[in-house]
């Protein structure tokens, strides 16, 4: 579900993982049609980093 959100509404996905400042920057990128693709790529990358950080945190407990 988050991957789909990262592709369609990249800025909103940043808010769901607790990175509101990045979400605002991503929203600015998404407003321009040319910036939509970099915003979506950035959002998917940030989501993968978020998932990795959660796995590491669970393994450390």
pLDDT tens sequence across 1-30: 888 888 888 889 999 888 999 999 989 988
60 within domain boundaries: no
DSSP structure class, residue 61: -
H or E segment at 13? helix 10-16
CA distances from 59 to 47, 52, 53 (A): 19, 11, 10
Task: Report the domain count for the chain.
Answer: 1
Domain that holds residue 20: 2-54
pLDDT tier for residue 60 given thresholds of 50, 70 and 90: confident
61 within domain boundaries: no
């Amino acid at each position: 579900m988050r991957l789909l959100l990262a592709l369609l509404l990249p800025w909103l996905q940043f808010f769901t993982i607790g990175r509101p400042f990045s979400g605002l920057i991503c929203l600015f990128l998404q407003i321009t049609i040319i910036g939509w693709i970099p915003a979506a790529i950035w959002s998917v990358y940030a989501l993968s980093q978020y998932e990795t950080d959660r796995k590491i945190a669970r393994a450390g407990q």
